């Protein structure tokens, strides 16, 4: 690329191997924004006249428009987005364009571009998470009183409501938003001015450049600023964990859509059929969400492995940070959007949920609690109810129809009243518990938060 040091042209195979323009072209709006801020700082420092700055800014704006409208021809021989834009700028405005790179390196340039890109994508992802949360809150309100079993080990445990279950995922998504906001705060410092690794003898006003680009401040060690990709790793972790949460939701929905559960019906618009079996209605969106989570986790691992052995400061390995970054942000945005659409259209089969929750064994813990309230130590109460359950299973007599006093005198006639789903849920009034009134209050709280 630069002839001064080299006697031979770069091999065409090496050019093909080392180019990044095929994917880093996406950084163009951030590269141009950073270049304009840098040029303005050069003007303030007396390195450019006002007229030269105007020529550079106008040229960069025209290039940006051409790229957006698909008229720009990227050249792999120029390797990356930075050199493609700079070469075109010089072509359009002449030698003055060659002044733009004074006091900067592609190293601090790409570090700035990727921070700006990550900041923009975080804002978009947070918006998509919020949209999904709204959909789930709406569905939680619709099914606030729809009683269903809660599970541990995929075995029926205790009664809850569908509203309470859906709000659990709203909580998870809120933590995802928090992690993204934390990541945004940490990444929002400008490395521009760090040069290749040791700054420059031509000192520009870094703080003012940072302010123009919307950064909260500047980095304080030029070597770390160039080598740092923590912010990308942190973003990929937050994205991967959000994907894991959506994958868990998908697994719930896949189970609930099965004939064995029958709790949920997804719309025809969000399911597919079989090429052979005409009766099938497959929850493909859920399955693909579950599958794409593997990509998100893999992208995080990809970056971490690339970083783990790098000495300070810049190494070409860092070029490999962008494919996993771009793939993860695109994948998560799509997953969030399609799930919001799917969940907004899904319908609960409340009668199926209620029938499953009608198993009296789900209230075995309530029966133990009744014994505790009568003065029986919990461990003893647990054992007594366990005996009653064993007798129910052995005899085939439902737990609520057993003669409990015949099993142990600690049971009283009044304890049979625990076998009421309505009463069992109403009694769960502690903060975080699934009484219908609690769920309704949580829905209102979430509407305020969102």
Which residue is associated with the tokens 């919001």? Answer: 340
The DSSP-derived string for 49-69 is -HHHHHHHHHHHHHHHHHHHT
Phi, psi of 272 (to 5 degrees): -135, 165
Extended strands (E) in 274-362: 347-348
CA-to-CA distance for 125 and 267, rounded, in angstroms? 25
- Residue 193 is given by DSSP the state T
Residue 8, helix vs strand vs coil: coil
**Closest Cα to residue 359, out of 159, 181, 110?**
159
CA-to-CA distance for 180 and 243, rounded, in angstroms? 13
Residue 187, helix vs strand vs coil: helix
**Closest Cα to residue 438, out of 447, 422, 427, 423?**
427
The catalytic position among 11, 258, 274, 374 is 274
CA-to-CA distance for 286 and 273, rounded, in angstroms? 14
Residue 164, helix vs strand vs coil: helix
Q: Is 274 one of the catalytic residues? A: yes
CA-to-CA distance for 383 and 156, rounded, in angstroms? 19
Q: Using CA of residue 412, residue 416, residue 421, residue 422, what is the dihedral sign?
A: negative
Residue 4, helix vs strand vs coil: coil
Could you give the C-alpha distances from 364 to 53, 161, 354, 361, 381, in angstroms and in order? 77, 18, 17, 5, 10
CA-based angle 224:230:449, to the nearest 5?
A: 130
The catalytic position among 153, 220, 259, 275 is 153
Phi, psi of 52 (to 5 degrees): -65, -40
Task: Characterize the bridge pairing of strands 155-161 and 147-152.
Answer: antiparallel
Q: At what angle do helices 106-142 and 322-345 cross, to 10 degrees?
A: 10
Residues whose CB is less than 8 angstroms from the CB of residue 10 and which lie 6 or more positions away in sequence, other chains included: 1
CA-to-CA distance for 40 and 42, rounded, in angstroms? 5
Q: Which residues are catalytic?
A: 153, 274
């Amino acid at each position: 690329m630069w002839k001064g040091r080299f006697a031979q042209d770069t091999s065409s195979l090496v050019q093909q191997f080392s180019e990044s323009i095929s994917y880093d072209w996406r950084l163009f709006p951030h590269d141009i924004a950073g270049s304009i801020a840098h040029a303005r700082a050069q003007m303030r420092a007396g390195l450019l006249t006002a007229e030269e700055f105007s020529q550079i800014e106008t040229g960069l704006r025209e290039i940006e428009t051409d790229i957006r409208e698909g008229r720009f021809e990227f050249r792999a021989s120029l390797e990356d987005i930075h050199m493609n834009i700079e070469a075109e700028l010089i072509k359009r405005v002449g030698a003055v364009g060659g002044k733009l790179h004074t006091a900067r390196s592609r190293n601090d340039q790409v570090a700035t571009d990727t921070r700006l890109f990550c900041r923009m994508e975080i804002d978009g992802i947070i918006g998509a998470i919020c949209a999904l949360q709204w959909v789930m809150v709406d569905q939680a309100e619709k099914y606030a009183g729809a009683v269903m079993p809660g599970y541990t080990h995929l075995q029926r445990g205790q009664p809850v409501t569908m509203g309470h279950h859906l709000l659990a995922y709203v909580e998870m998504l809120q933590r995802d938003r928090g992690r993204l906001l934390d990541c945004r705060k940490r990444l929002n410092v400008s490395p521009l001015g760090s040069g290749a690794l040791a700054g420059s003898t031509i000192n520009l006003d870094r703080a003012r450049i940072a302010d123009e680009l919307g950064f909260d401040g500047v980095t304080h060690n030029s070597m770390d600023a160039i080598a740092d990709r923590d912010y990308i790793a942190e973003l990929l972790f937050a994205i991967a964990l959000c994907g894991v949460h959506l994958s868990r939701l998908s697994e719930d929905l896949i189970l609930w859509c099965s004939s064995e559960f029958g709790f949920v019906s997804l719309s025809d618009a969000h399911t597919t059929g079989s090429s052979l079996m005409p009766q099938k209605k497959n929850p493909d969106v859920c399955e693909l969400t579950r599958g794409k989570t593997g990509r998100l986790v893999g992208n995080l691992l990809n970056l971490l492995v690339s970083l783990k052995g790098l000495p300070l400061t810049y190494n070409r390995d860092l070029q490999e940070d962008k494919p996993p970054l771009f793939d993860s942000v695109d994948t998560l945005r799509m997953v969030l959007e399609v799930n919001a659409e799917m969940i907004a259209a899904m319908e609960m089969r409340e009668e199926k949920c209620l029938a499953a929750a009608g198993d009296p064994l789900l209230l075995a813990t309530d029966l133990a609690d009744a014994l505790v309230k009568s003065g029986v130590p919990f461990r003893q109460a647990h054992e007594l109810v366990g005996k009653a359950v064993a007798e129910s299973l052995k005899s085939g007599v439902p737990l609520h129809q057993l003669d409990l006093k015949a099993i142990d005198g600690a049971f009283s006639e009044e304890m049979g009243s625990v076998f009421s789903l309505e009463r069992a849920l109403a009694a769960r009034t502690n903060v975080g518990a699934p009484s219908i009134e609690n769920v309704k209050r949580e829905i209102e709280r979430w509407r305020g938060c969102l």
